[in-house]
Amino acid sequence: ELKVEQNPLFLSMQEGKNYTIYCNYSTTSDRLYWYRQDPGKSLESLFVLLSNGAVKQEGRLMASLDTKARLSTLHITAAVHDLSATYFCAPKGGISNFGNEKLTFGTGTRLTIIP
Amino acid sequence: NAGVMQNPRHLVRRRGQEARLRCSPMKGHSHVYWYRQLPEEGLKFMVYLQKENIIDESGMPKERFSAEFPKEGPSILRIQQVVRGDSAAYFCASSGTSGAWEQYFGPGTRLTVT
């Protein structure tokens, strides 16, 4: 059974600082997704990482995937208040020819940016 | 282009009643997934359906829960004889059949059992 661990679970950081959220997963997976959730809201897709070594950037967020280490990171550069939210990583279970499979979500990292 | 739609957005049921949650996928999507989120937790997979077929129900409780995705109409998650522990946010996601198979999430239905 695929298990996903994120750390830290809670992160409070000042505006302008950099930080990284880590996502470790227990069994082989060939793709991983990052989502953002605001309180009481749905999930917004941030990144889809499809292969080992994949790196994607959007604004102040950058995500990477190391399938050999079973590790993904979400790096925040020069944080701003608008980035306050809960961030989830979600690897797809296993490796198969079928992309349409369930996602296993991490526990989430609740990020608070302090002005 | 409408996204994934869910209704109702909020649902209150007394213990023992039935809850029906509906999900209409994005236009052009034929794959639907249901997830449950308990307060302060991540999402847990429940069931994956295509039109008229259940593909993976490994996360679905064995009793009281059922799901369908008929040829016409929305996907429905049905919870019979609800208990307090069923109180949660239920999210539906849909995906297409190519590319990154990215799952797009609906706004969720927040079920409260009193």
Residues B5-48: pLDDT tens digits?
Answer: 999 999 999 999 999 999 999 998 989 999 999 987 889 999 99
Residues A61-115: pLDDT tens digits?
Answer: 999 999 899 999 999 999 999 999 999 999 987 555 555 578 899 889 999 999 8
Q: How far apart are the first and last CA of chain B?
A: 36
**Cβ contact A100–B48 (<8 Å):** yes
Does A54 contact chain B (CB < 8 Å)? no
**Cβ contact A100–B31 (<8 Å):** yes
Q: Would you state the structure tokens that stand for residue A44, as one six-digit string?
A: 């917004």
Q: Would you state the structure tokens that stand for residue B28, as one six-digit string?
A: 């052009």
Q: Which of A1, A101, A107 to mutate to test the interface with B (most CBs of B within 10 A)?
A: A101
pLDDT given for residue A1 in this prediction: 80
Helix (H, G, I), strand (E, B) or coil at A81: helix
Residues A12-41: pLDDT tens digits?
Answer: 999 999 999 999 999 887 789 999 999 989
CA separation for the pair B9, B3 (Å, rounded) = 15
DSSP 8-state code for residue A83: G
Instruction: Identify the CA nearest to B45 among candidates B60, B31, B55, B63.
Output: B60
Q: Which of B58, B103, B109 to mutate to test the interface with A (most CBs of A within 10 A)?
A: B103
